[in-house]
Each structure stands twice: as C-alpha cells, then as structure tokens.
Structure 1
Amino acid sequence: MTDSETNAAPPTHRPWLVRIPEIFEGIADSVLQQMGAASSTRLGQDYYLIKTATPAAIRQSEAAKFARWNLPMDHTWPCNAQKMDGFIEKAAQTLLKKFGERNPQGIFIGTLQPTSPDKYYKGLASNLRGRVLQLFPKLAAATVEEQDPTAETLFCLVGKEGLFCGMQSPRASNGLYAGGSKYIDQDAPDTISRAGAKIAEALHYLLLYRPSLKEGSHWIELGACPGGMTSELLARNQRVTAIDRAPLDKRLDGRPGLKFFLEDVAAFQPRAGTLYDALLCDMNGPPEESIEQVIRLSRFLKTGGLVVYTLKVPRIDALDEANELFRVIVSMSKAAGLRLFAQTHLTYNRHEFTLFFETVRK
C-alpha cells in the first residue's frame, strides 16, 4: 500500500432520498446496495433516506429503474409537525434562508404517505407551500407542467417523520411532482380499466423529455382490449388504430378518431404508405414476443416516432433476472432502430416497467 493510499481521505457520503415502490420492497436492500447506500432509514410509504458516496449510481446503475424518484437531501428536519406550534412559519422561514439565493424555478411540496386516507399531511403540505410562495420572489414555474425539466426545482416532502427537502431538476429526480407521482382518479364513472390511468401518467412523465404530441396525432395500439388506454388517448383528441383479438368495451363504439381491428396483432399489416406518430404496447405474454411485434410495426412510424412499451417481467425476487430481461429487450430494440430514452415504474405498474423509445432512421 502506498503512502497516498494510506493517507487518502475517506469517501464523502451524501444524504439522499430514494423512492422504491412498495411492490419492490423485497429487493429494496439489493437496490440500495447497488446505489452505494452505506446506510438507510425507511421513511413514509416507500421512501428510503440513504447515505451514499456514489450518488451518480442512483440514476445510472442498473438498479435505477427500480427507483421511481430521488432527491438530494439539502435540508432535513426530523420532527413531529403535528405536535409543533408554528411549524409552517418556522419551516417556511428556514426554506427561504436555505434556498432563497439558489433561485429555484418552482417549489412543490408533497407527503411521505401519498395514498394515506389521513388528510392532515396533505393539508399541511398545501399550507406550507402557500406560505413559502408568499416569502419567495415570483417563480418561473407556478405549476408542475410549467417546469423546465432541466432546471432546478425545490422539492419537499413532509410526514410524521419530519420535513425533507432538496433542489434538483425534475429530469434528474425522475418526476415533475414532489415524490414523482401524478395521481390519476380510477373511480370515475366512465373509467374502462386502470390502464387508462397508466397511459395518462406515462404521457405526463414524457414531459420530462419531449413536448406532448399534437392533437390529431395517430397512434397504433397493440393489444388494446378492453380499451382503457384507447379511451384516454381519444379523450386527448388523439387518433387511434387499435388491434386486439378480443373486442373493445361497448362504450367505445362509434368514437370519433378510432379504428378497431378485431384480429391477432401478429397478423395485422397496415396499408402501404401508412405512417403513425406513436405506437403503444401493453400486451401480456412473453416480452420477447411482444417486442418483436413492436419492432415489426415500428417500421410504420415516422422518423422520431414515439414508442410507449410496457415491459412485463416475472415476479421480481432478485435483480439479476429482471436486469437480464431488460438488457435483452433494449438490445433487440436498438438493433431495430429504436432508441431507449427513458424508463420508469409508474404508480399503476406492478411487476412491469414503462419504456420509452423513439425511432432512429439510419
């Protein structure tokens, strides 16, 4: 061992908040280990406060796909806000002091228990944001959709464990909301299936990387039954060519902008000269088979056309199997001229990931 190695300073560990969906709780330790976590503390529903000397691994390691959201911890305040007098004012003044000169583009505050029926912390988060906005000068982004995905935002999460805050761009955090999730109501009377919420969240997530598709854009949807995603796209004034061996929900009959083909996806052949703006695939079955159909039909996408693909994986009990399947699917897609530019685990995903590709013509 050399003198320089003997006298080398120990690595600096930074505090970081990582959100690992509850469905991956069984492999959370392995995920955090790949991210270089030297320690971890569970917070809220599915958040982990870690210390890591390799924060880049949170976004760049193979384990990154298992983390829905992440944020550097620039300020943590362990406390019981519910039992503290003047918590909102104290917290707001502290945030101004710590972050005012860093000029965040926006300030968004969420809760550590986003699905809890207890509304106390949701109200607290809303009231705290209201007070903070009174103290900060006018911000560039008043709503999450107005954010520049590459500019820094002040994100905060509050819960019974305290207040946890940091500044980072939405793209680096992997979400526009504090915590990363956009709540989609699945209980509306006209809801056909939860898949509608899944594509709605996917399209919102896409704002991290590219503008929304224009109204009238033409989608080809593989395995559309019963039509939850179809319905959501039509509601956004998109055109949809849907294919499935099973019929769509009767409520979609006669909907403007919809063409439905009752046949096997593998047998479907678009008319010569047809070009689509986007392709959507949420098919069940072996991923190696569904991606083959995506690749085959992606030839009918315009240059730069979008592919939203649900990678269905077997029940995940270890990282290696899921990572290997991911590598295979991405490699097949790349060889066919599809460039992966983002992937995430959506709120309504289970043992599956949503992958985003775009066509690259040689």
Structure 2
Amino acid sequence: MTPVADFSITSQTRSWLVRIPEIFEGLSKEILGPFGAESCTRLGHEYYLIKAAKPQAIHQSEVAKFVRWNLPMHHTWPCNPQKMEGFIEKAAQTLLKKFGDSQPQGLFIGQLNPTSPDKYYKSLASNLRGRALQVFPKMVAGNVEEQDPTASTLYCLVGKEGLFTGLQSPRLCNGLFPGGSKYIDQDSPDTISRAGAKIAEALHYLLLHRPPMPAGSHWMELGACPGGMTSELLAREQRVTAIDRAPLDKRLNGRAGLKFIHADVATFTPQDGTVYDALLSDLNGPPFESLDHVIRLSRSLRPRGLIVFTLKVPRIETVEEPCDLFCKIVKTATAAGLRLFAQTHLTYNRHEFTLFFEKGGR
C-alpha cells in the first residue's frame, strides 16, 4: 500500500486543533489572530479548537513558531467517553467508516491532557488504537519513527471533551507524535541535566526533515557544562568535542567518543584540518553573541553540516519582539551561509526556540 500524499492545505476544512505551549498561554490571542480565528474553544491541556479563516497561516505565518503542533479537523465527536458504553468499539468503527478509504500511512492516538495524573485517558488512547488497528487496512507505519514525514497520517486526540481527528503529514503537523511531544525520561539516576531532554527531543524532531546522524558523527558542542546534552549525544554513538570554561559532570570522565576542552568558547579555535559533522549551541547570554560564535566556528563544519541552535529570548511579553529577534537572527545567519530549514518550540524549551541550520545547503 502506498501512503496517500498530504492534502490538508488543499482541503476545505476550516476547523483546526492547535497546541500552544503553556508558557505562551498569555499570548494565545496574539498567536491565533493571524490565523483568522473566528471562534476558539479551549480543549484539554494547551489545545485550542479554532475556526480558521486563514488556515495556511498556521504553517506560514511568523507566529507559527509559537504553535507546537497542529491538525486539521476532519472529524470531531464531542462526547464524554468515560460515560459512554462501548466507546472504543463505536469510535474504532467510526474511524474506519470515515477514513478507511483514505489509506493513511499510520494511525496514532494521544491525550488532550497528557500531563494529567488520571491514567484513564492514557489507557483509553492505547486501547482505542489497538482496536482501530484491528479493523483498519494494514498500516505502513507501525510506530511513530517509521512514518514518511511527507505522507498523511491519521491522528486522534481524546479527552473528556471527546474525540478529535484529522489527516495530515507529520511534517505539516510539526511532530511525529499526536500532540507533537516525545516523552523523555528525566528521572534516571544517569540524568545529568534537563538540557539532555532538549537535544534528545531535537534529534527526534529532526526526523521530520532529514535522516538521523550516522553513528560516529563528530559534534562540536559550545557551552557543554554540566554535560546533559553531551551525555545524550554519546548515548547515541556520536563523537563530541565539548567546550566550556566550567568542568563537565564527573560521570562523563573517560567516556568513549568524548574530548573535553576546558576553554572559553570565545577563544577556542579548532585544530587545522579538523572537520565536524554538526555543531550544537545552547549557550546562555546575548543571542547575537552566541550566533557570532556559531558563525565563526561553522567554518570547521563539512558542507551541509548540521547546526542546532537554541535562540534564548530574554523575556516574552508580546509576539512582536521574539518574532523581530528571530528574523534578525535568521538574516544574519543566512548572510553567513547558514540556511534555516526548521524551527520549533520543543517540549523541554522554556523562553527559547530551537533553530536548525545547514551549512551552505540550498
């Protein structure tokens, strides 16, 4: 079976589910305004069901970066699943009737409130997907990372408000999972810092746009202390040259593939002939100062080398200021030969965005 191409932009639906991170909740009206939101209903945790007069703006507007995930609504079923007898069977048969002929590449179901301590809807989502897969034609993608980023997937979100379903490619949704978040375990005794979750999620997010970095790829990491991101890269069989004025966590001592340089990033110069596959910057400090370091050191990247850059926004009180900063940062990077190919607000970001550049790429 060949997955159908994505059709959400050309479809006639004006009803969309968008996810705005909780940290931007106070800006929701400013974010939704450019989409031509004629009506808005809050659903679950961080979700907004809107009637959009300008649905293309959800992907193309400068405020789209504030939306973690989006989905056109091709079927909504307002109800209380917990009080409905036979909900799973009824929902599975309804999905088959409405979407069976669409041949989605996969079917994935999540919760409208994934952080709720109530496990009922987590279990319901899992059981509904299991039953739906039994009645649907065979799927190409059995798990989220097997998806073709450009082919349509059937996504469903379920909660006490009902079932909300749509077809769209993972790339246009801006995430492989329903809702766009990949859970990263931060309770392990081996966890060095929460920054590790950011690069783990960033590498997962990159699957929407390019193949994973091969084992043995060489990363230059700027401002690596205490080593949360370093640890995650090493766990994925990457090689890391980590640079920082402060020492790394002692648990990283002797780790294979790691070279630590105890130095200020501003004074670091790679050895002649050293070529890196990727550059990672999660530096604190003024954004343009961080970008200057990235631009200078990107000269040691191979052609089409990857840059993962955290854009720290000092304080987000309006959408205009971060959008203006974003445009200036991208313009400066572009002039230096770095092409922006993706940007997002990761689940583990705060007042910051993660930008993905490619050196000298088209």
TM-score of Structure 1 vs Structure 2, range by shorter chain:
over 0.9
Q: How much identity, in percent, do the aligned residues show?
A: 74
Q: Report the counterpart of residue 196 of structure 2 in structure 1.
A: 196
**Deviation by residue 1:133-187 (Cα, 9 ceiling, x = unmatched):** 0001111000101000000000000001100000000000000000001000100
Residue 361 of structure 1 deviates from its aligned partner by 6.4
Q: C-alpha distance in 2, partners of 1:190/1:342?
A: 30
- 8 Å Cα contact 1:71-1:168 kept in structure 2: yes
Residue 13 of structure 1 deviates from its aligned partner by 6.8
- 8 Å Cα contact 1:35-1:63 kept in structure 2: no
Residue 35 of structure 1 deviates from its aligned partner by 1.7
Residue 115 of structure 1 deviates from its aligned partner by 1.3
- 8 Å Cα contact 1:191-1:228 kept in structure 2: yes
- 8 Å Cα contact 2:223-2:282 kept in structure 1: yes
Change over 3 Å in CA distance of 1:96–1:161 after alignment to 2: same
Q: Report the counterpart of residue 37 of structure 1 in structure 2.
A: 37
Q: C-alpha distance in 2, partners of 1:118/1:23?
A: 22
Q: Report the counterpart of residue 340 of structure 1 in structure 2.
A: 340
Residue correspondence of structure 1 range 285-304 to structure 2 within 5 A: 285-304=285-304
Q: C-alpha distance in 1, partners of 2:195/2:23?
A: 18
Q: C-alpha distance in 2, partners of 1:13/1:179?
A: 19
Q: C-alpha distance in 2, partners of 1:271/1:226?
A: 24
- 8 Å Cα contact 2:13-2:74 kept in structure 1: no
- The residue identity in structure 2 corresponding to 1:100 is G
Structure 2 runs not aligned, ≥5 long: 1-11
- 8 Å Cα contact 1:175-1:205 kept in structure 2: yes
- The residue identity in structure 2 corresponding to 1:40 is C
Q: C-alpha distance in 2, partners of 1:97/1:305?
A: 46
Q: Report the counterpart of residue 249 of structure 1 in structure 2.
A: 249
Q: TM-score, normalised by structure 2?
A: 0.96
Q: TM-score, normalised by structure 1?
A: 0.96
Matched, 1:17 2:9: no
Change over 3 Å in CA distance of 1:286–1:95 after alignment to 2: same
Residue 252 of structure 1 deviates from its aligned partner by 0.5
Q: C-alpha distance in 1, partners of 2:35/2:202?
A: 25
- The residue identity in structure 2 corresponding to 1:249 is D
- The residue identity in structure 1 corresponding to 2:20 is I
Q: Report the counterpart of residue 132 of structure 2 in structure 1.
A: 132
Structure 1 runs not aligned, ≥5 long: 1-11
Q: Report the counterpart of residue 5 of structure 1 in structure 2.
A: none
- 8 Å Cα contact 2:345-2:354 kept in structure 1: yes
- 8 Å Cα contact 1:109-1:125 kept in structure 2: yes
Q: C-alpha distance in 1, partners of 2:258/2:276?
A: 13
1:100 aligns to what SS in structure 2?
Answer: helix
User: RMSD between aligned alpha carbons?
Assistant: 1.0
Q: C-alpha distance in 2, partners of 1:118/1:292?
A: 46
Q: C-alpha distance in 1, partners of 2:195/2:137?
A: 40
2:113 aligns to what SS in structure 1?
Answer: coil
Matched, 1:212 2:238: no
Residue 53 of structure 1 deviates from its aligned partner by 1.8
Matched, 1:354 2:354: yes
Aligned length: 351
Residue correspondence of structure 1 range 102-117 to structure 2 within 5 A: 102-117=102-117
**Deviation by residue 1:282-321 (Cα, 9 ceiling, x = unmatched):** 0001101000000000110000100000000022110111
Q: Report the counterpart of residue 260 of structure 2 in structure 1.
A: 260
Q: C-alpha distance in 2, partners of 1:294/1:118?
A: 44
Q: Report the counterpart of residue 93 of structure 2 in structure 1.
A: 93
1:116 aligns to what SS in structure 2?
Answer: coil
Matched, 1:282 2:282: yes
**Deviation by residue 1:34-89 (Cα, 9 ceiling, x = unmatched):** 12211111101100000012111001001100000000000000100001000000
Displacement over 6 Å in runs of 4+:
none
Q: Report the counterpart of residue 122 of structure 2 in structure 1.
A: 122
1:299 aligns to what SS in structure 2?
Answer: helix
Q: C-alpha distance in 2, partners of 1:35/1:322?
A: 18
Change over 3 Å in CA distance of 1:87–1:13 after alignment to 2: closer
- The residue identity in structure 2 corresponding to 1:303 is P
Q: Report the counterpart of residue 70 of structure 2 in structure 1.
A: 70
2:341 aligns to what SS in structure 1?
Answer: strand
- 8 Å Cα contact 1:13-1:53 kept in structure 2: no
